[in-house]
Amino acid sequence: MSSLFQPFDLRDVTVPNRVWMPPMCQYSAAPQGPATGAPADWHFAHYGARAAGGTGLIVVEATAVSPEGRISPYDLGIWNDTQVEAFRRITRFLTGQGTVPAVQLAHSGRKASTDRPWKGGAPIGPDAHGWQPVAPSPVAFDDAHPVPGELTVSQIQEVVEQFADAARRALAAGFEIAEIHGAHGYLINEFLSPHSNHRTDGYGGSYGNRTRFALEVVDAVREVWPDEKPLFFRISATDWLDDGGWSADDTVRFAHELHAHGVDLLDVSSGGNASGVRIPLGPGYQVPFAARVKAESPMPVAAVGLITDAEQAEKILANGEADAVLLGRELLRDPSWARRAARELGAEVRVPEQYHRSV
């Protein structure tokens, strides 16, 4: 039997298969007005198509815990009840298709207040709905980004509470799984890495201090997230720096701690916290990081990164390198990738009755 199309149990949630969709920002929410940060028709159609296509679990794109936590003014958010009601339409449809709805709770830190990628993605100011980014230290991401404001200890605690409040709203919105975004150079990743965290207080310096904020967020979310529902954490396994950054060794060590704090799965990506680094792109280039965490810790893992065809995905799971695969670009290209993969592997996947003539 195909490993890719076996169910996966996490706490009291069963994901019908191991074909998962990672969070991919659509930059399509209203930047101002009463619907700011709320999912719109584009989001409903986008996620609905992948659910109808047989995807087992969909992680809704980075959803900010505060207005300042957005990457761009066009990002999703979950800091008010208007957003909650808009998300319910999506989670109802996904659940009705047999897909497990998850959401990534995020704060973008020093990489906030930028334009949409197809507009260049450059930092923007108040005249374009922008704002002043914040970070663990007043260190800009690169020469094009502004120097962020350094968070005070009281502000750090406010952000921790914002994550908890966002988790409460995610539950009310109908999500079955919450994922904490600790990757790609955004706020939690900025605290973890000595490349971006130059603090000298209890949130900087040593490994224990640099991981403090992340664990406080995990604890705050886990406290309000029901025991029967899983909690994920997305991590950049490495900054891809030879020295002075977060490393794969750090990731393995941290996986043990996250597991002890109630995280149920590590979503293993890489990079994003240091500009100008050379990343050796290639098929499955991040899978070895996931495989190492799985081999050296008790944490289940999902692998991501140029996983494109059914045989490749099947081999990753059959070899025990990961418990699930996350397909990004492939699911953008082909919303029904799961159905096609099932046919190739001689497996079965749920097909909506309206689409039975296509089987």
pLDDT digits (tens, 9 = 90+) for 10-41: 999 999 999 999 999 999 999 999 999 999 99
pLDDT digits (tens, 9 = 90+) for 144-170: 999 999 999 999 999 999 999 999 999
241 Cβ contact partners less than 8 Å away, ≥ 6 residues apart:
195, 274, 277
Tell me the pLDDT of the chain averaged across its residues.
97
Q: How large is the average pLDDT for residues 285-309? A: 97
Q: What is the pLDDT at residue 216? A: 98
Q: Is 285 a catalytic residue?
A: no
List domains and CATH numbers for the chain.
8-358 (3.20.20.70)
**Percentage helix, strand, coil for the chain under 3-state DSSP, each rounded to 5:** 40, 15, 45
pLDDT digits (tens, 9 = 90+) for 89-117: 999 999 999 999 999 999 999 999 999 99
Q: How large is the average pLDDT for residues 293-319? A: 97
Q: What is the pLDDT at residue 70? A: 98
Q: At what angle do helices 287-296 and 248-260 cross, to 10 degrees?
A: 50
Catalytic residue among 47, 74, 186, 203: 186
Give CA–CA dist 27/151, Å, rounded: 26
pLDDT digits (tens, 9 = 90+) for 171-226: 999 999 999 999 999 999 999 999 999 999 999 999 999 999 999 999 999 999 99
Opening angle at CA 9, ends 8 and 15, nearest 5? 55
Q: What is the pLDDT at residue 337? A: 97
CA 284 to chain centre: 18
Query: Could you count the other beta carbons within 10 Å of the beta carbon of residue 267?
Result: 27
Query: Is the pLDDT score of 227 beyond 90?
Result: yes
Q: How large is the average pLDDT for residues 52-57? A: 98
Q: What is the pLDDT at residue 359? A: 75
- The SS3 assignment for 64 reads strand
**What is the band of 357 on the pLDDT scale with cuts at 50, 70, 90?**
confident
